[in-house]
Chain A
Amino acid sequence: MVSRVTDDYAAMVTAGCRAVCEPAFWAGFDRSSSQGFYDYFCQLTDYEPRRAAQFGLPHYSWLCLNPKEAENMSLAEEVLAMIPSFLDRPNVLGIGEIGLNKNSRNEVTIFEKHVELAVRYNQMILVHTPHLEDKWKGTRLIVDMLKRNQGVDPARVIIDHVEEHTVDIVLDAGFWAGITLYPQSKCTPSRAIDMVEIYGAQRLWLNCACDWGHSDSLAVPKTAIEMKKRGHSEAAIDQLIYGNPLQFLRQNPKFHVDETIEEVHRDAPQK
């Protein structure tokens, strides 16, 4: 959300969004020093939650160095050393979005160091999988590395940006799979629902990006409308877009939404 205007927060709340989770990501340019990351982590854990709170929206974050900056190993090591000092902040849910971008050796090394850090500090993990032609290879590399680390609990890991050729790799290995909705790249609402219909909704969730590129902060509610058109029940839609993220995120005791509203929501008659 750091690259979005407050209108996005207003629109998300109006559409029924109950919380926002913002992973650390690439800024669109390489940061020149670890101090740049320090400022960014402060923004994610201090300023942005206060901005979201003005709209009644709980804000959570995940911290890491994005794989796009992993070729600079000395910078990456400095950032990795800094992350533990932020982990006890109240809105930090874990380590993410770590992963691979071009599937390089340095990216692999820094990914494994992030995973080690998460295991050492008992943190949940959010994983970014590469774009386009690099996704299939990168997803297989990521799943293999996570499975090799005995300290990783797959139930506390979500591997994001799955598509039709990677969703089964992630689910079969016991991890959560995220489907990221974008207007052009990654996945459209209709393809996302296809995957839900084929693989079932267990350990699947939908998310949308609010980044500095072409992205739609309301893609999840729009997908709910698309599911309704296809005849999915309100209970099934609610489970996929609300129940599943709650189930995963509540593994971290820091995560909570307004229980009173949730009870009203759950007790509402199903049409």
Chain B
Amino acid sequence: MDRSRITDLYFAEARSKLIDLAAFLDRIERSKGTDDFRMKAFRAALLELGTAGPEKAKKILLALSDPTEEPVAQAGTKSASGAWAGR
């Protein structure tokens, strides 16, 4: 499928998500306080969007992932936060 057809299919949806993302950052920056580890990881991952080359989704997922290799001593919590706290 050529680029024109892919653009036709997905541009409106992606545009909407892009504006939602910008509005989210505006909302964060209007609020009091400072970025926690999730927002720091989020801003770092955002930089991948502006780079050239393939696998942007993979690079963003990796930027938000725990890069360590050994099991942790105990689970502590059951839920995931979306970003690795240790970075």
User: Which A residues form the contact surface with B (CB < 8 A)?
Assistant: 26, 68, 70-71, 101-108, 130-137, 140-141, 163-165, 190-191, 194, 229-231
Q: A104-B74, A137-B69, A165-B62 are in contact. Are A230 and B80 (CB under 8 A)?
A: no
Does B9 sit within 8 A of A, measured CB to CB?
Answer: yes
Residues of A within 8 Å of B72, CB to CB, are 102-105
Q: Would you list 13 pairs from A and B whose C-beta atoms are within 8 A, ordered by A residue?
A: A101-B75, A102-B80, A103-B72, A130-B80, A132-B83, A133-B81, A133-B82, A133-B83, A136-B61, A136-B65, A163-B57, A165-B58, A230-B1
Residues of A within 8 Å of B57, CB to CB, are 163-164, 191, 194
A232 to chain B, nearest CB (A): 9
A164 to chain B, nearest CB (A): 4
Residues of A within 8 Å of B76, CB to CB, are 102, 104
The distance in angstroms between the C-alpha atoms of A190 and B14, with both chains bound, is 11
Residues of A within 8 Å of B84, CB to CB, are 133
Verify A190–B10 contact, CB threshold 8 A: yes
The distance in angstroms between the C-alpha atoms of A71 and B75, with both chains bound, is 7
Given A133-B81, A136-B62, A194-B57, 6 new contacts (CB under 8 A): A104-B75, A105-B73, A106-B75, A130-B80, A163-B57, A165-B58
B86 to chain A, nearest CB (A): 10
Verify B80–A108 contact, CB threshold 8 A: no
Q: A107-B71, A108-B71, A231-B1 are in contact. Are A101 and B65 (CB under 8 A)?
A: no
The dominant DSSP class at the B interface is loop
Verify B74–A105 contact, CB threshold 8 A: yes
Does B77 sit within 8 A of A, measured CB to CB?
Answer: yes
The dominant DSSP class at the A interface is helix
Closest to A141 in B: B71
A245 to chain B, nearest CB (A): 25
Residues of B within 8 Å of A164, CB to CB, are 55, 57-58, 61
Residues of B within 8 Å of A103, CB to CB, are 66, 71-72
Residues of chain B from 23 to 74 with CB closer than 8 A to chain A in the complex: 55, 57-58, 61-62, 64-69, 71-74
Verify B65–A135 contact, CB threshold 8 A: yes
Residues of A within 8 Å of B69, CB to CB, are 137, 140-141
B35 to chain A, nearest CB (A): 16
Closest to A100 in B: B71
Does B78 sit within 8 A of A, measured CB to CB?
Answer: yes
Closest to A231 in B: B1
Verify B75–A107 contact, CB threshold 8 A: yes
Verify A229–B9 contact, CB threshold 8 A: yes
Verify B61–A163 contact, CB threshold 8 A: yes
Verify A131–B71 contact, CB threshold 8 A: no
Verify B1–A132 contact, CB threshold 8 A: no
Residues of A within 8 Å of B64, CB to CB, are 132-133
Verify A137–B68 contact, CB threshold 8 A: yes
The distance in angstroms between the C-alpha atoms of A91 and B9, with both chains bound, is 41
The distance in angstroms between the C-alpha atoms of A211 and B19, with both chains bound, is 30
Residues of A within 8 Å of B67, CB to CB, are 136-137
List 4 A-B pairs, minimum CB-CB distance, nearest first. A132-B80, A102-B75, A131-B80, A136-B65
Residues of B within 8 Å of A102, CB to CB, are 72, 75-78, 80
Verify A68–B78 contact, CB threshold 8 A: yes
B13 to chain A, nearest CB (A): 8
The distance in angstroms between the C-alpha atoms of A223 and B58, with both chains bound, is 21
Residues of A within 8 Å of B80, CB to CB, are 102, 130-134
